[in-house]
């Protein structure tokens, strides 16, 4: 009888190790290729302030090379699933909820337009985040120092078309030109 009690857990482990070892990792149905297709290319932004003056700039967005991506590891899963060990705690009762997301750090470079975006002290940064296991769209976040530390958010569909834009105290018009 004792041998039979050991046989059941062993059979479960051999048939499905994930069941015996814990929860299976989620299966994402997209990768870097789909995300790059939606976000990479030249983007022209027109910023209109409350007084009606406009600033236009064309920026090139591309997946960041490994050195930039490795410096941003602290921001989440990127395209490599993070270890499940974290050094954080909460002093209120947590919700114990998980959100499946993928973050792609972006290299943002000046192409044309307002020269303040090309100045050596101008800091341009970005990332593209997709929430969920299916790729239906995501959020492009750009940090634009020449505009006074403005963070611009652009919600994209999976085909790269713009769904919505958000930016403090400016109206943003986006023209996407893929190269």
Neighbouring-strand partners of residue 41: 61
Residues in CB range of 101: below 8 A, 6 or more apart: 76, 77, 129, 130, 131, 132
Tokens of 119: 């100045």
Question: What confidence tens digit (pLDDT) does each residue in 112-142 have?
Answer: 998 988 988 888 999 999 998 899 999 999 9
At 81 the pLDDT is 44
Tokens of 163: 């769904």
CA distances from 123 to 42, 94, 117, 119 (A): 17, 36, 8, 9
Q: Which one, of 154, 147, 150, lies nearest residue 127 by Cα?
A: 154
Sequential DSSP letters for 117-149 = GTSTT--EEEEEEEESSS-SEEEEEEEEGGGTS
> What CA–CA distance (Å, rounded) separates 54 from 143?
18
CB 163 within 8 A of CB 147: no
Question: What confidence tens digit (pLDDT) does each residue in 59-74 have?
Answer: 999 999 865 444 444 4
Span of 6-20, 44-58, 61-75, 109-123 with lowest mean pLDDT: 6-20
Domain boundaries, the chain: 26-80+98-177
CATH 2.40.128: does it fit domain 26-80+98-177? yes
Whether the per-residue pLDDT at 168 is higher than 80: the answer is: no
Residue of 137 and 86 predicted with greater confidence: 137
């Amino acid at each position: 009888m004792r041998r039979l009690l050991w046989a059941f857990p062993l059979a479960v482990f051999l048939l499905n190790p994930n069941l015996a070892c814990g929860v299976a990792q989620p299966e994402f149905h997209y990768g870097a290729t789909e995300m790059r297709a939606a976000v990479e290319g030249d983007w022209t932004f027109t910023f209109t302030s409350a007084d009606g003056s406009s600033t236009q700039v064309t920026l090139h967005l591309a997946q960041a090379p490994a050195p930039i991506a490795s410096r941003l590891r602290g921001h989440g899963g990127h395209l490599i699933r993070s270890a499940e060990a974290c050094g954080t705690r909460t002093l209120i009762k947590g919700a114990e909820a998980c959100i499946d997301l993928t973050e792609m750090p972006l290299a943002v470079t000046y192409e044309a337009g307002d020269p303040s975006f090309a100045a050596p002290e101008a800091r341009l940064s970005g990332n593209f985040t997709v929430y969920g296991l299916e790729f239906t769209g995501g959020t492009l976040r750009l940090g634009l120092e020449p505009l006074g530390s403005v963070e611009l958010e652009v919600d994209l569909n999976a085909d790269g078309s713009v769904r919505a834009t958000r930016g403090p105290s400016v109206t943003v018009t986006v023209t996407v030109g893929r190269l």
